[in-house]
Amino acid sequence: MRENRTRKDAFMLRLNDGLRDTLKKIAEQNCRSMTSEINLRLMKSLEADQCLQK
């Protein structure tokens, strides 16, 4: 975890029923934390929509 994380980096997120459990299982299968899994999937989604430049 980053030592210098600021309060603005945190984000409360409500997930649909069952989504947390699904994300947790997938993150474990990929040897990632849930936060890392969510970040990776969001980045891939945005890249696929061409919202982000590499």
| 47: its two tokens | 């890249």
- pLDDT value at residue 52: 65
Cα-only R_g, the chain: 13
- pLDDT value at residue 11: 84
Q: Domain locations in the chain?
A: 17-54
Query: pLDDT tens, position by position, for the chain (54 residues)?
Result: 455 667 677 888 899 999 999 999 999 999 999 999 999 999 999 888 887 665
Handedness of CA 24, 40, 46, 4 (dihedral sign): positive
- pLDDT value at residue 50: 83
| 37: its two tokens | 């899994």
- pLDDT value at residue 10: 82
